[in-house]
Amino acid sequence: MFYLFPFGKVPKCESIIIYGAGIIGQSYLKQLQVTQFVSSIYLTDKKITSAKKEGIITFIPQNEVLKLPAYPIVVASLKFAEEITQHLLQQGVKANRIVNIDTSHVMEEGQCDPHTFNWNEYYNNAEGHNEVQFHTYLEPLMQKYSFDLSQAVDFACGKGRIADLLSGECQSLICVDTSKDAIRHCAERFKNKKNVECRVSEPEKIPVDSDSVSFLYSWDAMVHFDYRSVDYLLSEFSRILKVGGYAVLHHSNARDHGSFKADKNWRRNPHCRSEFNAEDMRHICSKVGFIAKEQQIVDWGVKELDCISVIKKL
Ligand SMILES: C[S@@+](CC[C@H](N)C(=O)[O-])C[C@H]1O[C@@H](n2cnc3c(N)ncnc32)[C@H](O)[C@@H]1O
């Protein structure tokens, strides 16, 4: 669980008192330090018996809280929130100083779909790695299969780092991504390339005409997608690709991995890989009219973590 500090409820102040040093209190300390929200923090808990100072944090026993100036008191407990609040009120603390959280501040860690995740940090870091990834993995496949690049699609293009390298080879390239920001960035990046179009996609629906695409590729995005998403999306790929068209898909090979047990939550796995593998890809292909022509199992920090499938629409 992740406990979000109630930033919106606490008046901006020089100092703050956190009431409770358990998991919630510890999480608050980290958030307050990272955001530099206050210049000093008082932490109190029944287990703290004597005062001590560590950096901006002063640990104080509960009976010393009332000796402090009237800083906001944030109750770092859900279970005992009512009890603590009543206790403070009885001690004469004004109600407007006491801040409680509710369940909206409690988040299941990493519980989000890849299309709702904030990829900004990724976009910034990945940009410098496009050439080496393109030349190592994609280019040899392009040479081997001589894909028809007349109507190509970059699926989940991000900010267009791979499209930038491939756009020169394509007669027409449509870049799609669910992130409006990323697509806005791509539109600006490719504004002088008349053959590139950028479109905002739906998570399971691709805004491209049926039977209109000769080649589709997806790089470093489907590695995070679960079985259900890949299943839906492969139906979409099958809809938009012409018969005989190829797709090159970079996806996870973490399910049934030899060195770890993949979690259903992609964010808990090495390199955030989903619980999916090469066999799953072949299975979905066979249901929606594709044949897997080739599957390259590749290392990605961890041996055999990823797979690049070359699939053909029958
Ligand atoms: C790790 S980034 C990779 C971006 C790009 N392919 C690259 O290599 O730089 C993952 C991208 O997938 C996009 N995405 C996630 N789910 C998607 C979906 N269902 N349909 C389209 N794009 C999606 C995200 O918005 C994000 O831009």
From the CA of 203, give the closest atom in ligand 1. 19
* Ligand 1 centroid to residue 3 C-alpha, Å: 27
Q: How far is the CA of 225 from the centre of ligand 1 (A)?
A: 10
178 lines ligand 1 (CB under 6 A): yes
pLDDT of res. 104: 84
| Residue owning the nearest CA to atom 3 of ligand 1 | 221
Please give the distance, rounded to the nearest whole angstrom, from the Cα atom of residue 239 to the centre of ligand 1.
20
40-49, pLDDT tens digit by residue? 999 999 999 9
Residue nearest to atom 2 of ligand 1 (CA): 221
Ligand 1 probe mutation, 119, 216, 223, most atoms within 8 A of CB = 119
Q: What is the mean pLDDT of the chain?
A: 95
CB atoms within 10 A of CB 9: 13
For ligand 1, atom 15, name the residue with the nearest CA. Answer: 115
Q: Given this model, what pLDDT does residue 110 score?
A: 58
Query: Looking at the domain covering 2-107, what would its CATH class be?
Result: alpha beta
Q: Is the C-beta atom of 20 inside 6 A of ligand 1?
A: no
CATH number for region 120-313: 3.40.50.150
Residue ranges of domains in the chain: 2-107, 120-313
Q: Is-same-fold flag (2-107; 120-313)?
A: yes
Q: Running along the chain, 314 residues long, what does each successive block of 10 average in pLDDT?
A: 89 92 92 91 95 96 95 94 95 95 78 89 90 96 98 98 97 98 98 98 97 98 98 98 98 96 91 97 98 97 97 98
161 Cβ below 6 A of ligand 1: yes
Report the pLDDT value the prediction gives residue 12, as an integer from 0 to 100.
Answer: 81
41 lines ligand 1 (CB under 6 A): no
Q: What integer pLDDT is reported at residue 112 of this predicted model? A: 86
Residue 197: the pLDDT is 98
In tens, the pLDDT along 179-228 reads 999 999 999 999 999 999 999 999 999 999 999 999 999 999 999 999 99
115 Cα: distance to centroid of ligand 1 (angstroms): 7
